[in-house]
Amino acid sequence: MHADVLRRELLDHRRSLIGCTVGGVLLALMYVLFYPTIRSGGAGIEALLKSMPKGFQSAFIGGGVDYLSPAGYLGTELFSILVPGLLLVMGVLAGGRALAGEEQDGTIDLLLSTPIRRGRLAAEKAGGAMLPLYVVAAALWALVALAGPSQGLDVSLGGLAVALLAVALLGTGFGMLAFLISSATGSVGLGAGIAGALAVAMYALNIIGALVPALTGIANAVSPFHWDGGSGVLANGVPWSGLGLLLACPIVLLSLSLLAYERRDLTT
Amino acid sequence: MATAAATRGSAAIVLEGLTKDYGAKRALDGVDLELRSGEIFGYLGSNGAGKTTTIRCLLGLIRPSAGRATVLGLDCRDDSVEVRRRTGYLPGDLRLYPRLSARQLLDYLGGLRGGVSSRRVDELAQRMECDLSQRCGAMSHGQRQKVGVIQALMHDPDVLILDEPTATLDPLMQRNVHDLIREARARGATIFVSSHDLPEVARLCDRAGILRRGRLVAVQDVNDLAQRGQHVLAIEFLEPVDPAVFSTLPGVSQVTASDRTLTITASGDLDAVVKAAARYRVHALRSAEVDLDEVFHDYYRTESGDAR
């Protein structure tokens, strides 16, 4: 038994991993290649942004961040919606499907007739479902590291790595919520649905927090989309407290999943 | 209970008051059963009688609401991993990974068992006439079932739990599977076969238990089970005979007359019936075949009669 289940999970979904990686990298490449054009049109865009409400700026670009700087531009284009969105969808779908999918397909009987511990099965399934997020994050890092400098996008590669890690953890958190609900109920759709809906709600809360000063405090505390540094992440970095929360959530959710799964009756 | 404790050492599977409730519905109701090491045991019951529920308890897929089950002395709940290491299981509703070839599937499951002999897998595939290079998703029911049989046997387990093993196989393949099961027994394995197919159980098993609505209503040697059966004799006389002559005989439960033919249903020895018939001139005598099927339905009739 050498992580057979984890390997199988990765192998079975290699096509979607390749698709997500290529798609993500191509979109990111597009933004990288746009940068010289955007920067050369600088004054007009700057003026446009200045004319917008302050909350809007902090919601979509990051508080006090210069959009036209490499960190401001990449942060806004990649980290406001593109990368979090991609990794979230990947995480939620994979998390909901990983273990409950075997149950829904009826293959769990064969799998659990082998001498594998349920906890180990669940842990390997979770690992196999979440690892692709980090593969995509690494590919995006490599893209910016390789193609960025030639387009004038010089950003701290260490800072970029931490920012991508934080977003991958964000996707893992919602992915593991889907995993917990699905593996505890045996329903793929229930887990993915609830986790997906909660992610959308939290994203909205983060925006509302930026636009409505009265709600800023609570939104920033509650919404994981604030924990990862948002679109200002490359300029301002990931707050340590946020990183800690993003790391803690998947661990707690995985532990709960293992507990719940260990005790479940697996009926047909 | 004292005898159960005394023989536990040689018992391969022991169910003690095994009970499983799903909400308000009782799927298994205090089943006590002991399988001797090295026997082929038929677990009979119609759909929904609790056969699969019993098997899922044995494999640790579900937890009993009360009572316990042990396999080779190991508790099916607490030592489930060890139970599964030494058990081969063929699910009743077998589902394979459609995108894997049979070979890939068997490698995967074998890997989770810490590796199995590829020679054994090839040998089984040959016996079952199974093309391992085919994708499971492209297989017919019968072909998938063959893969299921191979995966249950490939690690030469001490205990085999087979849920309706030959339901989707043609008669020739059924015989192959029966041979493989008997070979496993010859090696010392204990085999638990659930089935609703009585003739199959009669051919294959040493003992059989009948499960009805979650309760084990009978456990007998397959031969005894057949003997318990009722005889149906149709005697055509050459002269008019009063049915009352027969209906009062011991063991006779029913006599129907039509023209000069009496149809007599009796259980146990037929001696009295034959001797009574011998006093008249007999034209023909037909005996309906006694099979497990009737025994089975007989059990069901009496049980449901008791219940109401």
For residue A24, give its domain range: 4-263
On whether the CB atoms of residues B273 and B179 are closer than 8 A, the answer is no
CATH number of residue B240's parent domain: 3.30.70
| A267: chain B residues, CB-CB within 8 Å | 22, 56, 61-62
**Is A235 inside any structural domain?**
yes
Share of chain B above pLDDT 90, in %: 55
Residue B113 sits in the same domain as residue B249: no
| A106: chain B residues, CB-CB within 8 Å | 91, 93, 95
pLDDT category, B297, cuts 50, 70, 90? low
Phi, psi of A210 (to 5 degrees): -75, -30
β-pairing verdict for B190-195 and B40-44:
parallel
On whether the CB atoms of residues B31 and B211 are closer than 8 A, the answer is yes
Buried b (16+ CB within 10 A) or exposed e, A204-217: ebbbbbbbeeeebe
Residue of chain A whose alpha carbon sits nearest to that of B83: A115
Digit-coded pLDDT (tens) for A55-72: 777 777 776 777 888 888
Token output for A187: 């329903």
Residue B195 at interface with chain A, using a CB cutoff of 8 Å: no
Region for residue B140 given its phi and psi (left: phi exceeds 0; alpha: psi -120 to 50; beta: otherwise): beta
Residue B166 at interface with chain A, using a CB cutoff of 8 Å: no
Residue B267 sits in the same domain as residue B220: no
Nearest to B81 among A117, A266, A268 (CB): A117
Residue B214 sits in the same domain as residue B198: yes
Residue B211 sits in the same domain as residue B279: no
Mean pLDDT over B3-28 rounds to 78
Beta carbons of A116 and B22 less than 8 Å apart: no
CATH number of residue B78's parent domain: 3.40.50.300
Mean pLDDT over B69-94 rounds to 94
DSSP element (H, E) containing B288 = none
* Domain count along chain B: 2
Residue of chain A whose alpha carbon sits nearest to that of B106: A110
Residue B48 sits in the same domain as residue B94: yes
Helix, strand, coil share (%) of chain B residues, nearest 5: 40, 30, 30
**Is B35 inside any structural domain?**
yes
Residue B81 at interface with chain A, using a CB cutoff of 8 Å: yes
The residues in B 11-50 lying below 8 A from A, measured between CB atoms, are: 22
**Is A167 inside any structural domain?**
yes
**Is A268 inside any structural domain?**
no
Average pLDDT in chain A? 90
Beta carbons of B89 and A113 less than 8 Å apart: yes
SS3 for A231? helix
For residue B282, give its domain range: 230-289
Beta carbons of A266 and B62 less than 8 Å apart: yes
Share of chain B above pLDDT 70, in %: 88
Nearest to B112 among A109, A116, A263 (CB): A116
Digit-coded pLDDT (tens) for A22-64: 999 999 999 999 898 888 877 777 777 777 777 777 777 776 7
Residue B90 sits in the same domain as residue B158: yes
| A5: chain B residues, CB-CB within 8 Å | 112
Residue A11 at interface with chain B, using a CB cutoff of 8 Å: no
Q: Supply the pTM of this predicted model.
A: 0.84
Beta carbons of A1 and B114 less than 8 Å apart: yes
Residue B56 at interface with chain A, using a CB cutoff of 8 Å: yes
User: What is d(CA A206, CA B305) in angstroms, rounded to the nearest whole number?
Assistant: 67
pLDDT of residue B291: 54
| B22: chain A residues, CB-CB within 8 Å | 267
pLDDT category, B83, cuts 50, 70, 90? very high
Q: How close, in Å, is residue A6 to chain B by CA atoms?
A: 11
Beta carbons of B111 and A12 less than 8 Å apart: no
More confident residue, B122 or B6: B122
**Is A140 inside any structural domain?**
yes
Give the pLDDT of chain A (268 residues) as one tens digit per residue.
578 999 999 999 999 999 999 999 999 999 999 898 888 877 777 777 777 777 777 777 776 777 888 888 898 888 888 999 999 999 999 999 999 999 999 999 999 999 999 999 999 999 999 999 999 999 999 999 999 899 888 889 999 999 999 999 999 999 999 999 999 999 999 999 999 999 999 999 988 888 888 888 888 888 898 888 887 888 788 888 889 999 999 999 999 999 999 989 998 7
| Assembly ipTM | 0.87
pLDDT of residue B9: 45
Digit-coded pLDDT (tens) for B199-247: 788 889 999 998 888 999 888 888 776 666 667 788 999 998 888 888 8
**Is A148 inside any structural domain?**
yes
The residues in B 217-236 lying below 8 A from A, measured between CB atoms, are: none
Residue B141 sits in the same domain as residue B235: no
Substitution target in A113, A121, A267, A268 with the highest count of B β-carbons within 10 Å is A113
pLDDT of residue B8: 41
Whether B308 has a pLDDT exceeding 50, the answer reads no
Residue A117 at interface with chain B, using a CB cutoff of 8 Å: yes
**Is B301 inside any structural domain?**
no
**Is B305 inside any structural domain?**
no
Beta carbons of A109 and B91 less than 8 Å apart: yes
- Number of cross-chain residue pairs from A and B with Cβ atoms under 8 Å apart: 70
Bridge partners of residue B75, in order along the sequence: B70
* Domain count along chain A: 1
